[in-house]
Amino acid sequence: MKKLLPLMGLLLLLAAACSRDSEKVIARIGSDKITEQYLQEKFGEISPGAQEYLATKPGRRQFLDVLIHERLMLLAARKSGAASDPDYKAKVSQKEAEMHTTFEAYKDFMLTKTWVEAMREKELKVTDGEVRDYYQKHPNTVTLAHILMPSYEEAEVAVKKLKAGADFEKTARKYSLDHETVRLPPVMYGEFLPELEDMAFKMRVGETQGIVKTQLGFHIIKKLSQDRVPQAIASERVRKILEKKKFDAYLAKFQEKIKVEVLDENYK
């Protein structure tokens, strides 16, 4: 605790100084300057272990000397002919293009995020009554194990092995495309693949069913358990299910107005 007090004191001192005048000049290097705000920003980049040393006066001075040294190097580089170097120009242009791409992706992300948040207050809004009605119809979760095969024929081979007495999990780990995830987390109705959902909830515990085709491949599933979720715990989960259903319906209707084509045969 005693070691932390000088560091905390320095942080408070720097914060207070910054709040008084973020443009306070700490040092000048020719016509350039190091301000309190810049010092604060660079201080934030230092590891916590090194910051303890900076709580001392020698530490602060050494830190400033490093910043002055860096600034002298930059000024010397600017006065040299390095800015005309073809390799320098190429690397800067490449970085500029990368940053532009990143910035455009960020703009797209923020635009979509802002739109979805606004939708949640209007088109996607789920009432307490809707949550209650859905829960009354679908209060349970099911836990499943699954085998995913790339073709119907290969799925048939797996089914024959299971019918002959092969262990489901061992078969899945040996043959399934998704052999690392055999046992799936418990799902409520609305959280699973639509093609498998009705079957999964109607099956008896311990029963194996398949073969069912989805966009992922050909599935064989085994029902491990079915449990009722208390309404207080399930409510927020149900709200997300209903919100997603409304969102999917909205997007499907929107897609009717937009032409979507998959041109590469490998992705059809």
Tens of pLDDT along the chain (268 residues)? 444 444 445 554 555 544 445 578 989 998 888 888 888 888 888 887 777 777 788 888 888 899 999 999 999 999 998 999 999 999 999 999 999 999 999 999 999 999 999 999 999 999 999 999 999 999 999 999 999 999 999 999 999 999 999 999 999 999 999 888 899 999 999 999 999 999 999 999 999 998 999 999 999 999 999 999 999 999 999 999 999 999 999 999 999 999 989 999 888 7
Topology of domain 140-228 in CATH is Chitinase A; domain 3 (3.10.50)
- For residue 257, what pLDDT is reported? 92
So where are the chain's domains?
Answer: 4-79, 140-228
Q: Which amino acid is at 197?
A: E
Cβ neighbours for 18, distance < 8 A, ≥ 6 positions apart: 36, 37, 40
- For residue 56, what pLDDT is reported? 82
Model confidence, pTM: 0.68
- For residue 266, what pLDDT is reported? 84
Nearest residue to 219 (alpha-carbon basis) of 238, 247, 233, 200: 200
Asked if residue 148 lies in contact with residue 219, where contact means CB atoms within 8 angstroms, the answer is yes
Look at residue 121 and give its three-state secondary structure: coil
Helices (H) and strands (E) in the chain, counts: 10, 6
Distance CA 117, CA 26 (A): 44
- For residue 140, what pLDDT is reported? 97
Radius of gyration of the chain (CA): 31
